[in-house]
Amino acid sequence: MNQIIFFKNDETEKALNKDKKKYKIIFIIFLIVTIILSIVLLNNLYDNYNNEKLSKKLNNSYSISTLYSNKKNSTINSTSNNPFVIGIIQIDKIDLNYSILSICNNELLDISVCRFAGPMPNEIGNLCVAGHNYVDYNFFSRLNELNLNDKITIYDLDGNSINYSIYDIYEINSNDTSCTFQNTNGHKIVTLVTCNNVNGKRLILHAKEIP
Per-residue pLDDT at 87: 92
Query: Which residues does the chain have with pLDDT short of 70?
Result: 1-19, 37-83, 136
Q: What is the pLDDT of residue 3?
A: 47
- Topology of domain 58-209 in CATH is Sortase; Chain: A; (2.40.260)
Q: Where are the domains of the chain?
A: 58-209
pLDDT for 76 equals: 34
**Dihedral pair phi/psi, residue 121, rounded to 5°:** -55, 135
Q: Which tens digits make up the pLDDT trace of 93-132?
A: 999 999 999 888 888 888 889 999 999 999 999 999 999 8
Quote the pLDDT of residue 208.
98
